[in-house]
Structures are given as structure tokens and as C-alpha cells.
Amino acid sequence: MADEPPLPPFAAIVVAGGKGLRVGGELPKQYRSWRGRALLAHSVEALREAGASPLVVVIADGAQDHARAALRDASGVRFVTGGASRQDSVVAGLEALEADAPARVLIHDAARPDLPRAVIERLLDVLSQHPGAIPVLPVVDSLAVAGPRGIMADKAERE
């Protein structure tokens, strides 16, 4: 947004190398559409609009065509092949940023598309005072308790 104050400089890594096995189907979750765009696009756009530079997207080996198609505009995005685990993929993303030596790096999961600017602002504020931060957000989904036959027996209280 043009009327929002600029944020301190930061780099971002979007981890998008998962296979999405729990979701099923041929296309991994991060490339599926949500609100008219791929999940990956929502994450990248939120970080890009907040000023992330450089912006690294860590993908599975051979997934560059899917990633480019999901983003529509991949300008300024560096694609890096991830590793066997999420941790290995994060390390690959950090290694891709090594020459840039950013003071702040936000790491985000592509399968979590709703990244409000306010969360980015709070993280960057905390990172100005501490070496690391993790956002803690309230659960807003309904929780249910399954009975013995797998049928909803009750709702779970959140207190």
C-alpha cells in the first residue's frame, strides 16, 4: 500500500518444496488455487508488497515450471532447489542469501497463504531487538471431538 510507512530492509525465504501428500492429487498444495491465485503467489506477493528483497523461493527439484506459472510475475524472485526435508530447504534458502548478508530474514511456508502485513511488521519490530522470532497466531478454525466411530461427538473448547 502506498500510504503505509516503509519497513526496515529484510530478505525473505518462501519454502515451497513440499509434495502436499496429505492433500492428495497430482499438484502439490502450494501450486493449487485459493482466492483465484496459487497459494505460493499469495505468500510471495505479501512479502514482496512489504518490501522483501531479495526474495528466495525454495522449490522441489524439477518444480520450476510450476513455480513460475504459479507466480505469473517471477521478476526479482530467486528460485533455489530445496533438500530432502524442510530444514534442508531452509538451509538452501539461507545459503542463497549468504552473499547478500541481510540483517533480517523472514522464513515463510508457501502453504500458509494468508500473511498479513501486520504480522510482518511485528516480526521485523521484534527482530530489531532479538535474534529470532516466531509469530504466534490464534486458532480460528472450529475444533471437533470425534466419537468412537469417527463421527463428531462434541465441539472442543479453547479455554
Convert the pLDDT of each residue in 137-159 to its tens digit: 877 777 778 888 878 888 777 66
pLDDT digits (tens, 9 = 90+) for 86-113: 999 999 999 999 999 999 999 999 988 8
pLDDT in tens, 17-59: 876 656 556 788 899 888 889 999 999 999 999 999 999 999 9
| Structural domains for the chain | 11-132 (3.90.550.10)
- For the chain, how big is the Rg over CA atoms in Å? 18
How much is the pTM? 0.82
Question: How far, CA to CA in Å, does 24 sit from each of 27, 29, 32, 59, 94?
Answer: 8, 8, 11, 18, 29
Residue type, 111: A
